[in-house]
Structure 1
């Protein structure tokens, strides 16, 4: 009985070898294929800081998403820093999730010269000057950090969100009401 079986196998050895090779290839493919992970939001194109719209992000399955990766609910929230196309959106990139040190507040100010604002980016250290009618400019907030620069929609200056103390925020609010704000850039 065993001899009969061996003779049959000997006649079909090429077929058996081909079948075993196919099993090896399929096993290798199954072992090396990427794992399918949870769907997270990634940038659909290069994004500037500002309000996120529904078409700005798309869901993509990632095998190992970064910590804090968002899976939904980003439309309408404010992106604090720029993102490259395909980059996963994490909670620390959103302005409402930004962790400010104790005693620091996020203060939006409108700088008179939008071209000067193009010279800075989130993380830059600047000083803000206020110029009133008929007077020379005076410093209002010194060495504050830029949190984000939302996209401008008009020609009335550029909006910049700064990390300030509450006292600096009060000074900036008063200066905006009656003067024009400009900046100096620190190293």
Structure 2
């Protein structure tokens, strides 16, 4: 029995010596833990964020957006712009976007795009020459010119029209040939009927406004 007691005392002495030898390290660890807990309590919870859709890379006007063109970023609530779009997949850009720029309603072809230009009417117009349509960019100002191929003569059917979007042409698989290219213009409401009539019967082209 005395041998067991002696062995237990020896074990306690060994443990005590090891603890004392490492007391500085243990004290430092306990102190670091206390400091970390205090800092966490002082800082409080992380600030709230909101997920918004942004451009994953530089995108040109007319791009039909897919999942690879977009990414979601977390930003503070006060950094969320007005009109940000939650799901822009399948929508067409009316204006270029830089990488990381939020996707908002006025950057997309649609009703909101027209609403951004009060006093004007948004109108899709097919230009017979796709090459000339490709020269246009969102923000250009043009005079829309109609020419009668049979009777001859030309006239301006819309002055100072604003180019809202130049959508990319797409092949829908139809066997019917499609000529020209569609552009979206903002025109004076008084010119809408004349432009629509000219688009149906005459050859349309444009001149850049001064």
Alignment of 1:108-127 (within 5 A): 108-127=124-143
Shift of 1:174: 0.7
After superposition, the Cα gap between the structure-2 partners of 1:76 and 1:17, relative to the gap in structure 1 and judged at 3 Å, is same
- For the aligned residue pairs, the C-alpha RMSD in angstroms reads 3.4
Taking a change above 3 Å as real, the CA distance of residues 77 and 54 of structure 1, as seen in their structure-2 partners, is: same
Say which one has the larger Rg.
2
Distance change (3 Å), C-alpha of 1:141 and 1:23: farther
Q: Specify every segment of 5 or more residues in structure 2 that has no aligned partner in the other structure, as ranges.
A: 1-18, 172-177
Contact 2:85 2:104 survives alignment (8 Å):
no
Kindly report which structure 2 residues correspond to 1:1-187, keeping only aligned pairs within 5 A, or say none.
Answer: 12=23, 16=27, 27=39, 37-47=49-59, 48-63=61-76, 65-68=79-82, 70=84, 72-94=86-108, 95-98=110-113, 99-134=115-150, 135-153=152-170, 156-187=179-210
Superposition TM-score, scaled by structure 1 size: 0.73
1:49-102 Cα deviation digits (max 9, x unpaired): 254344432322223543226362323444321223332112322332122444
Question: Does the CA contact (< 8 Å) of 1:40 and 1:59 recur in 2?
Answer: yes
Following TM superposition, where does structure 1 have runs of at least 4 consecutive aligned residues deviating by more than 4 angstroms?
A: 11-28
Structure 1, 81-90 or 54-63: larger mean CA deviation: 54-63
CA offset digits 1:135-163 (Å, max 9, x no partner) = 13221111111111111226622211111
User: In structure 1, the residue corresponding to 2:89 is in which secondary structure?
Assistant: coil
Report the structure, 1 or 2, having the larger helix content. Answer: 2
* Structure 1 unaligned blocks of 5 or more: 1-7
Equivalent pairs, count: 177
